[in-house]
Amino acid sequence: MPGVCGFHLGISIGGLEHLQDISLSAHPLDRDQTVAGAWKQPAWADYSGVSRTLSALNWDEAHTLAQVLEQVEQPLIQSELDILRTGQQRIRYDGDLTGLPVSNSSRTYPNAAFGYMSDEIRLGYHAAVVSLESPTYRRLWLSAAHHPGDTVSCTQAEALVMAAEARTGLRPQRRTDLLHQRIETFERQTETTQKRLLIQRASVQQAGDRLAEARQQVPERQAILAELEASCQVRQRTERPTSRLALARKRLRAAERRCQSRERALQSAERRLAKTQVQRAEQQDALNHLRERLIRFERDNETNLAPVEAEFRLDAGFGTYENVALLIEMGYEVYTKAHNIQVVTSLKDKTDAGTTWTRVGANAEMTAWKDLSLKRCPYLLDVGLERFYTGQKLKHSALLHFGADPVTENLPEWFQHYNGRQTIEAGIKEGKSVFYLHRIKVRSEPAIYLQERMVIFAANFIRWATSWLSHQAEPAVDTLDVSKMGVKRQVKVGAHVSAQVIQDSRGKLLKFSEQSAFAGKVLRLKGCDVTRLFEAESCYLMPFFSESHLIAQPLR
């Protein structure tokens, strides 16, 4: 199984588009003995063997391998957290849900479902991902959770937050004071609903009694009418408009209409009661949920000896009122967009010809309201209405914020800061177009989960390896400056060049082939034996050149 881990990482870092490229590419990874040695493997398997192994993978094995990856990553993530905390900087998370589509006609992917992916309805899966804004590496992935394709963003906000906290071991102080106030307000609303419920129960009872009374009149009047009809028949009298018989007939029809009217009144009262009963039950469930949350958050605060200042940025798919309220109560500085388009409509109604719009981007303007009350949102929010052109069409969206940042005082900064979450969107794009997350087709769900986890590990790994190599390489005119290459070039080009491992009096180095993109470049590490390094922590270096066909050769 470690071999599968190494192979999968090699696939990702090598930018292999298809599983068969392990064996059938121009420089097959499974023939690279140097890299196999770096991973302490006697050899690599053919791609068909990797495919069979992944197909047989179970969830316990997949989770165990993911835990191993987390153990490798944790010290490096922890060092970034230490930098942030030492500098008293805010910990900033970004979360998102990304689609992993498969063929719409496929029936072989387990638990795949149709959902919204890549701006259309597709069959496939979703990965819920969280990233950390890193002072050294800019972006580090923290977690990836596997879901069916019909999963929607608004159901995953709490899971993203809990995943981030579980990974970092850090959390802000819960805002239990606000939650207390919310519960008290909710209790008053529940009491009002309970009073209305009692009134409506009495109304139903009254309507039922009046209907019973009306129904009782019908047979009585039917009997009177029958008696008068029989009397007229015996006496052979013609029914006149003002006769007792005509009056009795009218009174019966009136009683029947009264029954119908009171039946409708009873049904209307019962519908109102049923609606209030449902509302009361929902309110009670929500109140119990909030009370349980309060107990949990109070316990969190008691055990949180070193609370941090933290922020979450999420897109509009997560921006429901309940999710916003939850993140506020969990103690986060919240940046998101409104989930409900009605918010945008109501904000547009607040503007007129005299509204001041501030330019915040090349084609974007904003106006904002501080501490605005939105219907069904329990907390006051900073709300910004953004307008921008896409082609000839003017579009609007609503930014939401809660926290200490005075965002309404500097709208360009608010706009830029929120859009800084594009780093996670760029990371998602990188996972798909550089590491080919959705192209390595496997049919085992545990293997798909492991594949997702391997890709975010590879994205982190590249950044760590780049920084490490930049600090370890000896400065020279012909030294390869890895830090200036960029992730895409490292994967698309760097992982596919050939080089030699050369030993000289100063140690060992990598010399790139004259036919490669790095012709004439070398990579020598400061005062260390490269072979020993490869055997120890050279996983940082060797898989970086995962298809390099490095050949040990003495310097002549």
* Neighbouring residues of 186: CB distance < 8 A, sequence distance ≥ 6: 283, 286, 287, 290
Tokens of 55: 């197909």
The rounded distance, in Å, linking the Cα atoms of 89 and 83 is 8
Coil, strand or helix: which one is 357? coil
What are the backbone angles phi and psi of residue 39, rounded to the nearest 5°?
A: -90, 10
* Neighbouring residues of 428: CB distance < 8 A, sequence distance ≥ 6: 96, 98, 129
Positive/negative CA dihedral, 262, 263, 264, 269 = positive
Print pLDDT tens along the chain (556 aa).
545 555 556 666 666 677 777 788 777 877 877 777 777 778 877 878 777 888 888 999 999 999 999 999 999 999 999 999 999 999 999 999 999 888 898 888 888 999 998 789 999 999 999 999 999 999 999 999 999 999 999 999 999 999 999 999 999 999 999 999 999 999 999 999 999 999 999 999 999 999 999 889 888 888 888 888 888 777 777 777 778 888 888 888 898 899 999 999 999 999 999 999 999 999 999 999 999 999 999 999 999 999 999 999 999 999 999 999 999 999 999 999 999 999 999 999 999 989 999 999 888 999 999 999 998 899 999 999 999 887 788 999 999 999 999 999 999 999 999 999 999 998 888 888 887 766 667 788 898 898 889 889 988 988 888 888 877 777 766 777 777 788 888 887 777 777 777 777 767 777 888 877 888 778 777 665 444 433 333 333 334 333 333 333 322 2
Segments making up each domain of the chain, as ranges: 177-301, 315-420
The rounded distance, in Å, linking the Cα atoms of 168 and 407 is 27
Is CATH 1.10.287 the right assignment for the domain spanning 177-301?
yes
The rounded distance, in Å, linking the Cα atoms of 105 and 123 is 8
If one counts every other C-beta atom within 10 angstroms of the C-beta of residue 168, the result is 22
